[in-house]
């Protein structure tokens, strides 16, 4: 267990993780506001925030890939940058392609245009790579990375590893072989012996020649990119498990979420990463009322409060006593202006530094 204090610049990197739809982006922004309030120069890197959150942060579509100052009256500077899912890969090509011809060759490849963005884990990898770049420049006291939406929180952590594995795998080496002669026919692969002939037969009969040709071209065009990837991959992995990086795990209330949350927390620690706070977002409050005396349907609100309280208790039981658990109440509106983000950030900070790690447990 590692403590996170939004007012202190150590550790400088905060990676906000969690399953889709739990409010990661809003929380990342709120924590960014709080850090800047405390005088830290802060950057929030985010994927696809809501329109109104973009408005609140002053980050427009034009701001993709740039760091924009958020008009916040605070001791520290607050900047936000929007990582665009669709353009991530193009940027990579621009950066690593050797020359204009090879750049065009990749961008024009049909296979690339439609399918490459889905090369397993590429988005997650790019997010961490950008984090690495900005972190190295040391222009900020604190960087908060909001991770791309994934079905399962664990996907984010495994993605960079998958890319590295893919780069190291025989699949790539095979794909990069000059399989075809100038007339587009398969070359003999006598050098590979029996295995080579078996593979060739496999590729021919199973995959189909056309697919092999397209993929071969695709991967060959990408070769310089993969080399660039590979150089970075180890450093990026090191960064994620370094002492300077802490993970904030965001989840929703309700017992249905608990298995995913505890699973992710365990994996994070097992793989040598620093688990910071677990933030439970959008918790309905409990009401001490006779629901039926208020109105028909009021019992639904009462049920939500009770079931979320139960979920929190259960979650608390699954973690060691010193695990910081932050419980954030459901807002009347999603926080979409700086004032409401500030209030949310302040509440996170209040619970982070509270003397008892379990703010809710003692309540």
**Residue ranges that bind other proteins, judged by CB under 8 A:** 19-22, 50-52, 85, 110-111, 114-116, 118-120, 149, 151-152, 162, 165-166, 169-172, 174, 198-199, 201-202, 205-211, 214-215, 252, 254-256, 260, 284-285, 287-289, 291, 293-304, 307, 330, 332-334
Dihedral angle sign, alpha carbons of residues 45, 47, 48, 50: negative
CB of 217 to other proteins, least distance (A): 11
For residues 54 and 60, what is the distance between their CA atoms, to the nearest angstrom? 6
3-class SS shares of the chain: helix, strand, coil, % to 5? 55, 15, 30
Nearer to other proteins, 277 or 305 (CB): 305
Cis-peptide into 238, omega within 30 deg: no
What does the radius of gyration of the chain's CA atoms come to, in whole angstroms? 24
| Minimum distance of other proteins from residue 2's CB (angstroms) | 26
Q: Least distance to other proteins from the beta carbon of 173, Å? A: 9
Tell which residue, 220, 215, 120, 222, has the closest CA to residue 161: 120
Report the Cα 103 to chain-centroid distance in Å. Answer: 27
Nearer to other proteins, 52 or 104 (CB): 52
State the nearest-atom distance from the C-beta of 149 to other proteins, in Å: 6
In the complex, minimum distance from the CB of residue 74 to other proteins, in angstroms, rounded to a whole number = 26
Secondary element (H or E) of residue 163: helix 154-168
Nearer to other proteins, 61 or 332 (CB): 332
Between 69 and 227, CB nearer to other proteins: 227
| Shortest Å, Cβ 40 to other proteins | 28
If we measure between CA atoms, which residue out of 183, 167, 158 comes closest to residue 219? Answer: 167
Q: Give the C-alpha separation, 198 to 177, whole Å.
A: 16
Comparison of 289 and 363: residue with beta carbon closer to other proteins: 289
Q: What is the phi-psi region of residue 118: left when phi exceeds 0, alpha when psi lies from -120 to 50, beta otherwise?
A: alpha
- 28 is written with which tokens? 């990342």
From the CB of 301, what's the least distance to other proteins, in Å?
A: 5
């Amino acid at each position: 267990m590692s403590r996170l204090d939004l007012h202190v610049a150590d550790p400088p990197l905060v990676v906000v993780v969690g399953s889709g739809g739990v409010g990661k982006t809003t929380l990342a922004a709120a924590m960014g506001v709080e850090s800047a309030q405390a005088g830290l120069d802060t950057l929030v890197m985010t994927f696809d925030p809501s329109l109104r959150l973009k408005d609140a942060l002053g980050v427009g579509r034009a701001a993709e890939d740039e760091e924009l100052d958020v008009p916040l009256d605070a001791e520290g500077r607050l900047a936000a940058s929007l990582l665009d899912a669709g353009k991530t890969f193009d940027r990579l090509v621009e950066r690593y392609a050797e020359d204009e011809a090879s750049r065009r060759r990749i961008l024009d490849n049909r296979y690339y245009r439609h399918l490459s963005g889905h090369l397993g884990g590429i988005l997650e990898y790019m997010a961490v790579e950008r984090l690495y770049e900005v972190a190295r420049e040391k222009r900020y006291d604190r960087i908060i990375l909001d991770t791309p939406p994934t079905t399962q929180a664990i996907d984010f952590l495994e993605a960079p590893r998958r890319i590295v594995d893919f780069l190291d795998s025989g699949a790539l080496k095979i794909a990069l072989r000059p399989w075809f002669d100038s007339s587009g026919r398969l070359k003999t692969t006598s050098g590979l012996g029996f295995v080579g002939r078996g593979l060739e037969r496999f590729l021919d009969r199973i995959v189909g020649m056309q697919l092999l040709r397209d993929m071969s071209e695709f991967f060959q065009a990408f070769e310089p990119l993969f080399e660039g990837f590979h150089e970075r991959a180890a450093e990026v992995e090191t960064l994620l498990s370094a002492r300077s990086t802490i993970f904030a795990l965001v989840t929703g209330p309700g017992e249905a979420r608990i298995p995913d949350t505890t699973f992710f927390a365990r994996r994070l620690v097992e793989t040598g990463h620093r688990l910071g706070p677990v933030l439970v977002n959008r918790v309905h409050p409990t009401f001490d009322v006779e629901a039926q005396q208020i109105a028909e349907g009021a019992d639904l609100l009462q049920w939500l409060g009770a079931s979320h309280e139960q979920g929190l208790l259960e979650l608390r039981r699954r973690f060691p006593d010193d695990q910081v658990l932050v419980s954030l109440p459901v807002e009347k509106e999603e926080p979409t202006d700086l004032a409401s983000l500030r209030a949310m950030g302040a509440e996170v900070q209040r619970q982070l530094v509270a003397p008892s790690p379990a703010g809710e447990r003692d309540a």
